[in-house]
Amino acid sequence: MPIIEVAKSIIALERPAGEALLALHLRMVPAVDSIADGLEAPVQLLYLLTLLGFLVVGAFLVVRQVLVRRELEEAAKVLGERIRTSEATSEDCFELGAILLRKKLYTQATKNLERAIKLWDGAPEELAQVHNALGYAYLSMDRAELAVTNFRRAVDLQPGYVTAWNNLGDALERRQEWAGALDAYERSLSFSPDNRVARTRADSLRPRVQRAG
């Protein structure tokens, strides 16, 4: 058979096969599209449910924050009126100072916390919390020296007060007293070996203190 005839016969054989494949492809496209449509609906639903979940959580947090803020304002109002009538106890002054700290009204907080210390008639160990709060207020006002004084007083009254040791370390770091800060963090770790804040800061300060000799 001449070559041209062989070529024609091959083309003749390939054409039906190609047409069959094309027909099969055309039949499969709607099926694939229907499967894709079927997959898109659950994915879109999952996306919407996830988005709705985020919105619900966000709304809950906002509402909760508003309610907490209202409670703080109401408590501050009641305590403020009690203090103005000279009926306040040391605990009242401490509670009002703590509320003002949460509201970041540091100047007002320090006044009430200092008054709480003057009026204090409770256990010395509990007074440590007042000194720690007062130290935090001073530190937030960039008055590190007064902060250090109150944090030291807090740990003197309650040697195992881990939060006060950490705060003391932070205040000493701000004053660039590296050795003292390291000692404070190590004291914190002696009472709470798993304390992450103290561990991280101590590991960071130790090489600096060693280099300083």
Give me the pLDDT at residue 72, please: 55
CB atoms within 10 A of CB 146: 16
Which range among 43-52, 114-123, 166-175 shows the weakest confidence by mean pLDDT?
A: 43-52
Please report the sign of the dihedral spanned by the C-alpha atoms of residue 199, residue 200, residue 203, residue 209. negative
CB atoms within 10 A of CB 19: 10
Closest CA to 23 of 34, 15, 33: 15
For residues 96 and 130, is the Cβ–Cβ distance under 8 A?
Answer: no
> Does the model's pTM come out above 0.95?
no
For residue 17, give every residue at least 6 positions away whose Cβ sits within 8 Å of its Cβ, in sequence order, or none.
Answer: none
Reply yes or no on whether the pLDDT at 41 is more than 60: yes
For residue 199, give every residue at least 6 positions away whose Cβ sits within 8 Å of its Cβ, in sequence order, or none.
Answer: 185, 189
Reply yes or no on whether the pLDDT at 64 is more than 60: no
CATH architecture under which domain 138-213 falls = Alpha Horseshoe (1.25)
Where does the pLDDT of residue 106 fall: very low under 50, low under 70, confident under 90, or very high at 90 and above? very high
**86 φ/ψ sector (left φ>0, alpha ψ -120 to 50, else beta):** left
Tens digit of each residue's pLDDT (9 = 90 or more) over 122-169: 888 899 999 999 999 999 999 999 999 999 999 999 999 999 999 999
Please report the sign of the dihedral spanned by the C-alpha atoms of residue 93, residue 118, residue 148, residue 123. negative
CA 44 remoteness from chain centre: 31
The upper half-sphere exposure of residue 29, i.e. CA atoms within 13 Å in the direction of its Cβ, equals 5
Interhelix angle 178-191/196-212, rounded to 10 degrees, is 140
The proportion of the chain whose per-residue pLDDT surpasses 70, expressed as a percent, equals 67
Q: For residues 64 and 57, give the distance between their C-alpha atoms in angstroms, rounded to a whole number.
A: 10
**In the chain, ranges of CATH 1.25.40.10 domains:** 138-213
